[in-house]
């Protein structure tokens, strides 16, 4: 049975702002299953924002686990991310989950994968999902050649460019700013 998946998520830190955004498309095989999926979650009253790509059910499971780790480690996002990645890689059930996450607070943007990776991306730009390389290329160009844009403008335009090119990404965007 095919899983519902595919998306693009972008997080950017620029001029002291951290913004994360995602498109709204969920794909089942080569068919759009839903075009208004909310792939971002605001945690800790807006101090942490997460985004996910991959199988939706798997992503929700990981999000719940991440929230548990945040609680267990005093809302220390980096520590919670590392502990989630360790458990994700070694736990029998979790290791079968097919998803990736971006987590962001005012200090850090991290990409978490099921292989045990917790990555602090270059240029303070994180992207995941099927359209991630298109969005990352656009974001890097904007940071370098249009630094007058805000982080929110960069996220929005990166996602729009990815949606123009990637068939698994749409223009129904949700964008959140880390408080």
| Structural domains counted in the chain | 1
Burial pattern 131-155, b for ≥16 Cβ within 10 A else e, equals bbebbbbbbbebbeeeeebebbbbb
Q: Give the residue ranges of the annotated binding site.
A: 163, 166, 169
3-state helix vs strand vs coil in the chain, percent to 5: 40, 30, 30
- pTM for this entry: 0.94
Q: Which domain holds residue 132?
A: 4-177
Run of H or E residues at 78: helix 77-90
- How many other C-beta atoms lie within 10 A of the C-beta of residue 58? 19
Comparing CA positions, the residue from 155, 165, 130, 161 lying closest to residue 13 is 155
pLDDT of residue 4: 58
8 labelled catalytic: no
Please give the C-alpha separations between residue 130 and each of 41, 54, 111, 168, in angstroms, as whole numbers: 19, 9, 15, 7
Instruction: Report pLDDT digits (tens) over 62-86.
Output: 999 999 999 999 999 999 999 999 9
Compute the CA torsion angle 110, 45, 71, 49 (nearest 10 deg): -20
Q: Give the residue ranges of the annotated binding site for Na(+).
A: 163, 166, 169
CA distance 46 to 39: 15
**Which CATH number belongs to the domain containing residue 67 in this structure?**
3.60.20.10
Q: Is the pLDDT of residue 1 over 60?
A: no
Catalytic residue among 7, 27, 56, 127: 7
């Amino acid at each position: 049975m095919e899983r519902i998946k595919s998306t693009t998520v972008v997080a950017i830190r620029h001029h002291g702002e951290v913004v994360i955004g995602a498109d709204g498309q969920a794909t089942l095989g080569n068919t759009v299953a839903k075009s208004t999926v909310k792939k971002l979650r605001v945690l800790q009253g807006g101090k942490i924002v997460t985004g996910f790509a991959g199988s939706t059910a798997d992503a929700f499971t990981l999000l719940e686990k991440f929230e548990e780790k945040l609680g267990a480690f005093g809302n220390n996002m980096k520590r919670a991310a590392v502990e989630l990645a360790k458990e994700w890689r070694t736990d029998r059930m979790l290791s079968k989950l097919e998803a990736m996450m971006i987590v962001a607070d005012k200090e850090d943007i991290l990409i978490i994968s099921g292989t045990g990776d917790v990555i602090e991306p270059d240029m303070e730009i994180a992207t995941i999902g099927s359209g991630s390389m298109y969005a990352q290329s656009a974001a890097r160009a904007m940071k370098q050649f249009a630094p007058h844009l805000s982080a929110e403008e960069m996220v929005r335009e990166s996602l729009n460019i990815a949606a123009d090119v990637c068939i698994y990404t749409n223009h129904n965007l949700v964008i959140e700013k880390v408080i």
